[in-house]
Chains A and B, each alone.
Chain A
């Protein structure tokens, strides 16, 4: 996982393991990043292990950003994350769009 402050927008790359075994660390990382940046971009390209907790954390992050007027953008969903989303019932792109604010070129 890495925070990259040199880029114009702060981006956070999620670690490979975002399953329940590591979700607390990911949660702390997102909260820390959320506290620092006005705009947050979360790179999901490295996510290799995901489950219900990963989905919930991303949903909560998106919801919090929206409520606080601080845009959160998710980019580059990995295939593993996509599979998990589909298994959880986020079967269509429209559904994913509705719940997870994505940067389209990153999809």
Chain B
């Protein structure tokens, strides 16, 4: 096994922290009074700084430190985070990311300019937050108002140093609150053989001689509060003159040792036990300290695994499923009962292993949604169109490969929604709408599919203009009868754009066709719906995974094919009436007319058709189509194999799979078959009209 590069681990962790930081900053723009967001942003910054320094990213550490310092007034509640300040903070975040991921692309001049901007914003006379909003801290309990200081006992979790936190910095911050007397507790230090060099064993007993409130102390430890035990109790009285602040002494180094000795007023013996052990009724612990065991459990609850290993695991499971299918077939052909039982057991285990493996590859779509908040923030600013961005269903899970493939199409759709969908503020006001537009990004499970929708409340599609453009480009004859839905499909035609001007964002007609192709390559579908003056909704229907699907195995002539089960609505028998309706190609399904395709004709199957033909009703979005087949064999766990480049122009198949007997079966591309059926209907319409 190859050694793991620690800097790579830092990069991965930093990447996650950047998402947290960006999310917190963007939310802060919406909720400037939310202290939790400020804390969250600072925690992320602090960890990036600490880990950066630990892994030798000195520039990152120093820039982040400056960032933290400049942003400190926000943290203290002295100034409100304005949109301008958030924009600069986001630029600072981007710069730190570049320092980590591509240091060659960075320039100190840019970094300095960002920091200057940041300092300028935080030092300018911005409206100071109202006192009532700053003073969130609960009033001190009776008896605490005149207390002479605090007695603290600090105990950190063993891994705290590895996370980049430095207890010495925290002690230094604590000593800024007032005269501090710090005694290290060394009784937890093990012998060399048992020592983990980067674990934290030291604890500290601190007497803080300052009448500060508890919140000020909590602020010092806010970044590590989940990784430490802080026991806090008021000092009843000053038993001895307060010592000179330790770090004041350090600032004035070198200090003669004799002087230092004179300043220490307590015996130097280590404290044997924490004050908490005395269980004073008055002692005040951190709110609801979590049990140790629970925290330990959390430490091992997740394991970071390289994505390639998950891909490899999925491949192996795929091979296992194919081998299991062969075993099942072999067992079925013989009469040995025990072999049949083993085959069934292995089938059950393989199925369970497949589900577990697919589950391990699932990633919440929220990780993807988070990226678009920045996109919308920047586009909204650049186009001067205030936009509210709402997401729902972030917990909906999709295969990680799907998530990666989905990013670019969604960027296109969101850009289009803001650039073309949302009107400018003047138009919106004139139409009686709120000045702020709204874009909703939602994900929801629907059977074995995930529906992702991008919805805007803009002006909706201009059907007349799309039609005119389609006629101009010769895509339809002038005066042809088409439904609105059919006209809207021209938007997916390569090079089709109704935009009168080309902007940096969109209007070149490149995009929607690529979006459609990408979604269809993922075996998904895309659908548009619009209401004039009220907005447009784009719906993407996606399978949960790209690797293994549940399929329906069918036979047409001598060939066997797979239909993705998620697209199958029902199976019906082709009646004698339907049979007689050659040329009409419509089924009557409970009063609804459903067009059907005879797969024998499409596959040019030889031999006589079976006497009792079956029809499988499949659907994509709102369209339903029947597929007439010779035989429905049954469910089949389908391990998807890509077709070779030679078959790239065969559009009605999306892949292939290997069956239990070792032969191959082609997987039907449902969306393409539906499109084929629709074009046949159109031709039929035209011939009937003629």
Residue ranges of A at the interface with B (Cβ–Cβ < 8 Å): 20-21, 23-24, 26-27, 30-31, 34, 51-53, 55-57, 59-61, 63-64, 67, 79, 83-84, 86-95, 98-99
Q: A27-B197, A31-B192, A56-B201 are in contact. Are A91 and B260 (CB under 8 A)?
A: yes
Give the residues in chain A near B257, CB-CB below 8 Å. 92-93
B168 interface neighbour in A51, A63, A64, Cβ under 8 Å: A51
Is B263 among interface residues, defined by CB-CB distance under 8 A? yes
Q: How far is the CB of A80 from chain B (nearest CB, A)?
A: 11
Is B254 among interface residues, defined by CB-CB distance under 8 A? yes
Q: A60-B192, A98-B268 are in contact. Are A87 and B171 (CB under 8 A)?
A: yes
- Could you tell me if A92 and B268 are in contact, using CB atoms closer than 8 angstroms? yes
- Could you tell me if B171 and A88 are in contact, using CB atoms closer than 8 angstroms? yes
Is B492 among interface residues, defined by CB-CB distance under 8 A? no
- Could you tell me if B197 and A23 are in contact, using CB atoms closer than 8 angstroms? yes
Given contacts A60-B189, A86-B249, 10 further A-B contacts (CB under 8 A): A21-B55, A27-B192, A31-B192, A53-B161, A53-B198, A56-B189, A57-B195, A59-B189, A64-B191, A99-B270
- Could you tell me if B204 and A51 are in contact, using CB atoms closer than 8 angstroms? no
Q: A27-B195, A52-B168, A60-B195 are in contact. Are A86 and B161 (CB under 8 A)?
A: no
Is B129 among interface residues, defined by CB-CB distance under 8 A? no
- Could you tell me if B161 and A20 are in contact, using CB atoms closer than 8 angstroms? yes
Give the residues in chain A near B162, CB-CB below 8 Å. 20
Give the residues in chain A near B202, CB-CB below 8 Å. 52, 55-56, 88
B192 interface neighbour in A34, A79, A90, A95, Cβ under 8 Å: A34
Majority DSSP secondary structure for residues of A touching B: helix
Tell me the complex Cα distance, A63–B184, Å. Answer: 16
- Could you tell me if A63 and B189 are in contact, using CB atoms closer than 8 angstroms? yes
Tell me the complex Cα distance, A91–B180, Å. Answer: 12
Q: How far is the CB of B332 from chain A (nearest CB, A)?
A: 58
- Could you tell me if A90 and B189 are in contact, using CB atoms closer than 8 angstroms? no
Q: A57-B197, A67-B191 are in contact. Are A93 and B186 (CB under 8 A)?
A: no
- Could you tell me if A20 and B54 are in contact, using CB atoms closer than 8 angstroms? yes
Identify which of A34, A56, A95 gathers the most chain B CB atoms within 10 Å of its CB.
Answer: A56
Identify which of A83, A84, A89, A94 gathers the most chain B CB atoms within 10 Å of its CB.
Answer: A89
Give the residues in chain A near B260, CB-CB below 8 Å. 86, 91-93
Q: A21-B55, A60-B190 are in contact. Are A89 and B204 (CB under 8 A)?
A: yes
Give the residues in chain A near B201, CB-CB below 8 Å. 56
Is B138 among interface residues, defined by CB-CB distance under 8 A? no
Tell me the complex Cα distance, A21–B260, Å. Answer: 31
- Could you tell me if A51 and B166 are in contact, using CB atoms closer than 8 angstroms? yes
- Could you tell me if A89 and B184 are in contact, using CB atoms closer than 8 angstroms? yes
Measured CB to CB, the nearest residue on chain A to B164 is: A20
Measured CB to CB, the nearest residue on chain B to A23 is: B197
Measured CB to CB, the nearest residue on chain A to B166 is: A51
Give the residues in chain A near B190, CB-CB below 8 Å. 60
Give the residues in chain B near A51, CB-CB below 8 Å. 161, 166, 168
- Could you tell me if B254 and A24 are in contact, using CB atoms closer than 8 angstroms? no
- Could you tell me if A23 and B189 are in contact, using CB atoms closer than 8 angstroms? no
27 interchain pairs (CB within 8 A)? Answer: A20-B54, A27-B192, A51-B161, A52-B166, A52-B167, A52-B168, A53-B198, A57-B197, A60-B192, A60-B195, A61-B192, A64-B193, A67-B191, A79-B253, A79-B254, A86-B246, A88-B167, A88-B171, A89-B171, A90-B184, A91-B260, A91-B264, A92-B260, A95-B264, A95-B268, A99-B186, A99-B270
Query: What string of 1s and 0s marks CB contacts (under 8 Å) between B158-183 and chain A?
Result: 00011000111001100000000011
Measured CB to CB, the nearest residue on chain A to B162 is: A20
- Could you tell me if A59 and B171 are in contact, using CB atoms closer than 8 angstroms? no
Give the residues in chain B near A98, CB-CB below 8 Å. 268-269
- Could you tell me if B186 and A59 are in contact, using CB atoms closer than 8 angstroms? yes
Q: How far is the CB of A28 from chain B (nearest CB, A)?
A: 9
Query: What string of 1s and 0s marks CB contacts (under 8 Å) between B223-264 and chain A?
Result: 000000000000000000000001101100110010011011
- Could you tell me if B192 and A52 are in contact, using CB atoms closer than 8 angstroms? no
Q: How far is the CB of A93 from chain B (nearest CB, A)?
A: 4
- Could you tell me if A87 and B195 are in contact, using CB atoms closer than 8 angstroms? no
- Could you tell me if B195 and A93 are in contact, using CB atoms closer than 8 angstroms? no
Query: What string of 1s and 0s marks CB contacts (under 8 Å) between B137-167 and chain A?
Result: 0000000000000000000000001100011
Query: What string of 1s and 0s marks CB contacts (under 8 Å) between B202-214 and chain A?
Result: 1010000000000
Give the residues in chain A near B161, CB-CB below 8 Å. 20, 51-53
Is B56 among interface residues, defined by CB-CB distance under 8 A? yes
- Could you tell me if B168 and A84 are in contact, using CB atoms closer than 8 angstroms? yes
Q: How far is the CB of B539 from chain A (nearest CB, A)?
A: 51
Give the residues in chain A near B54, CB-CB below 8 Å. 20-21
Give the residues in chain A near B200, CB-CB below 8 Å. 52, 56
Tell me the complex Cα distance, A26–B192, Å. Answer: 12
Give the residues in chain B near A31, CB-CB below 8 Å. 192
Measured CB to CB, the nearest residue on chain A to B156 is: A52
Tell me the complex Cα distance, A79–B257, Å. Answer: 13
- Could you tell me if B197 and A26 are in contact, using CB atoms closer than 8 angstroms? yes
Give the residues in chain A near B167, CB-CB below 8 Å. 52, 88
